[in-house]
């Protein structure tokens, strides 16, 4: 797979879109008086074929996001030998029975969002002898249908994950409400991270990554704007 020629179905515009997103990230950093390398682009390749990932890799993209463990396992391990700089972030809701597979496949798990999962990840780390970095996902708009630890429980949960379970929590992640201005939510996540001395802030997607950078995002998760529309709705 790693030396596969560019797939004839591969989107020829993908590299151009990637370059455009990188340019917009650099501009947003400049406006925020931040160094351009202070933001990492996580290219969200979920539902897109491994050929699309290969095109992005060839264009210099090394950091990717997937939201399903099984899909990540199918696409990424075979790419690693030829691409040692590759970094895979798991960004989707994680079932406890997938914790071991997640610890094995991911470099960063961004969806640590409940006590049972914290326990499962702790056990998985011990069994696998591997410790991906972890971000606590906060339900920053306290929306009933959304994943993430409720804001009122976030302080205690972050402390428990780090102090009681010894999880390598390096930051926070959020998906703000779809409606309304996301900026106050991004600012709230940044304030929460600062209170806990956490350096990593994963926030901002195709539609709002520039606003997230203005509020301090260190990682933006961009899918559609790079890979195009996804064929099916995401679980
Ligand atoms: C799919 C997904 C993204 C990317 O969203 P786009 O709008 O396609 O950029 C970002 N974060 C999470 C958690 C996702 O599931």
- For ligand 1, what atom is nearest to the CA of residue 205? 9
CA-closest candidate to residue 23, choices 221, 210, 234: 210
Whole-number Å distance between alpha carbons of 39 and 23: 12
Q: What is the pLDDT of residues 194-232, one digit of tens each?
A: 999 999 999 999 999 999 999 999 999 999 999 998 876
Mutate to test the pocket of ligand 1, among 146, 223, 232 (most ligand atoms within 8 A of CB): 223
Whole-number Å distance between alpha carbons of 190 and 163: 21
Predicted confidence at residue 235, as pLDDT, reads: 52
CATH class of 14-226: alpha beta
Residue ranges per domain, the chain? 14-226
- Tell me the CA–centroid distance for residue 204 and ligand 1, in Å: 9
Whole-number Å distance between alpha carbons of 42 and 55: 15
Q: Hey, which residues does 150 pair with through a beta bridge?
A: 139
Among protein residues, the one with the nearest Cα to ligand 1's atom 6 is 223
- Tell me the CA–centroid distance for residue 80 and ligand 1, in Å: 23
Predicted confidence at residue 1, as pLDDT, reads: 42
- Tell me the CA–centroid distance for residue 30 and ligand 1, in Å: 24
- Tell me the CA–centroid distance for residue 197 and ligand 1, in Å: 26
Predicted confidence at residue 5, as pLDDT, reads: 47
pTM comes to: 0.94
Mutate to test the pocket of ligand 1, among 175, 186, 205 (most ligand atoms within 8 A of CB): 205
Whole-number Å distance between alpha carbons of 149 and 142: 8
What's the mean pLDDT when you consider all of the chain?
A: 94
Q: What is the pLDDT of residues 43-55, one digit of tens each?
A: 999 999 999 999 9
Rounded average pLDDT over 6-34: 87
Q: How confident is the model at residue 3 (pLDDT cuts 50, 70, 90)?
A: very low
Rounded average pLDDT over 18-42: 97
Residue 173: how many CA atoms within 13 Å on its side-chain side? Answer: 28
Predicted confidence at residue 47, as pLDDT, reads: 96
On the question of pLDDT at 2 being above 50, the answer is no
Helix or strand or coil: residue 170?
strand
Q: How confident is the model at residue 12 (pLDDT cuts 50, 70, 90)?
A: confident
Predicted confidence at residue 76, as pLDDT, reads: 97
Residues with CB under 6 A from ligand 1: 44, 46, 67, 91-92, 175, 205-207, 221-225, 234
Predicted confidence at residue 11, as pLDDT, reads: 72
Query: Other CB atoms closer than 10 Å to residue 194's CB: what's the count?
Result: 12
């Amino acid at each position: 797979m790693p030396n596969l020629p560019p797939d004839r179905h591969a989107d020829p515009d993908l590299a151009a879109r990637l370059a455009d997103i990188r340019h917009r990230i650099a501009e947003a950093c400049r406006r925020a008086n931040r160094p351009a390398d202070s933001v990492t682009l996580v290219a969200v390749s979920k539902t897109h074929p491994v050929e699309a990932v290969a095109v992005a890799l060839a264009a210099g993209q090394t950091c990717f996001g997937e939201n399903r463990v099984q899909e990540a396992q199918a696409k990424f391990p075979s790419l690693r030998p030829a691409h040692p700089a590759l970094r895979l972030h798991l960004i989707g809701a994680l079932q406890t029975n997938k914790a071991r597979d997640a610890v094995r496949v991911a470099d960063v798990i961004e969806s640590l969002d409940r006590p049972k999962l914290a326990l499962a990840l702790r056990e998985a780390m011990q069994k696998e002898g591997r410790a991906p970095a972890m971000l606590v996902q906060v339900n920053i708009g306290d929306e009933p249908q959304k994943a993430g630890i409720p804001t009122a429980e976030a302080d205690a949960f972050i402390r428990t994950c780090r102090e009681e379970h010894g999880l390598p929590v390096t930051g926070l992640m959020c998906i703000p409400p779809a409606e309304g201005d996301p900026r106050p939510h991004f600012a709230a996540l940044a304030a929460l991270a600062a209170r806990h001395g956490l350096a990593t802030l994963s926030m901002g997607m195709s539609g709002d990554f520039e606003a997230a950078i203005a509020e301090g995002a260190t990682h933006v998760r961009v899918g559609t704007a790079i890979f195009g529309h996804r064929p099916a709705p995401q679980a």
